Amino acid sequence: GYLIEDGAVGPMVRGATLTGNGPEVLRRVEMVGNDLGFTVGTCGKDGQGVPVSDAQPTLLVPELVVGGTKAANGPEKRRIRRL
């Protein structure tokens, strides 16, 4: 995804982990894009795999807690919100 600040698309957010309660985040969705995309992959364990897929359009959620790592500065966690 991308950081949106002052209504403008900012830098891409990479290596992020979104944390929180899934149903609560879905209740706060403000906009849904028309760019539904599908991906296909494999989920596996101990050498066994099963095909999986998912699909989701772009969503606008006004505030999320995002965690991840920053190579030079170690762990980082910040709250991303619409400004």
Please say whether the beta carbons of 37 and 57 come within 8 A: yes
Q: Which regions of the chain does DSSP assign to beta strands (E)?
A: 2-5, 8-12, 16-19, 31-32, 37-45, 48-56, 59-60, 63-70, 74-81
Tens digit of pLDDT for each residue in 37-59? 999 999 999 999 999 999 989 88
Which neighbouring-strand residues pair with 82? none
Q: Is the pLDDT of residue 75 over 60?
A: no
Answer whether 0.75 is exceeded by the pTM. Answer: no
In this prediction, residue 33 carries a pLDDT of 93
| Domain count across the chain | 1
Alpha-carbon distance 80 to 61, whole Å? 10
Tens digit of pLDDT for each residue in 18-42? 777 889 988 999 999 999 999 999 9
| Domain of residue 27, residue span | 2-81
